[in-house]
Amino acid sequence: MIQPVGTISLDLRCQSASAGWRPWIDGGLGWSLANDLYPSAHLGVGLRWRVDPAHDYGVSVRRHMALRHLDDGIENYWTVGATFGFTL
């Protein structure tokens, strides 16, 4: 089943500061909105390519989990995404 879900979360990421291809892991807690607003969490892994100290690109895989029972929604799902980071 395909269902649109929006999530806002506070993340903690562990990654290397050196240039080149590097793996990373992250986790976060926040709120998701599908048919209802609910607390959620996620854990993920990724691969990042650091171009210079201010820019990086990457891919990630995350497992998202609802932190309460949902009567009409998907409680656990996977996402695959592309990332772009920059430092001001």
Q: What is the secondary structure of the chain as a DSSP string? A: -----EEEEEEEEEE--SSEEEEEEEEEEEEEESSSEEEEEEEEEEEEEEEETTEEEEEEEEEEEESS--SSS-SEEEEEEEEEEE--
User: In the chain, what are the domain boundaries?
Assistant: 6-86
Full-model pTM:
0.76
For 20-75, the pLDDT digits (tens) are: 888 989 999 999 888 788 899 999 999 989 888 788 899 999 999 999 988 876 78
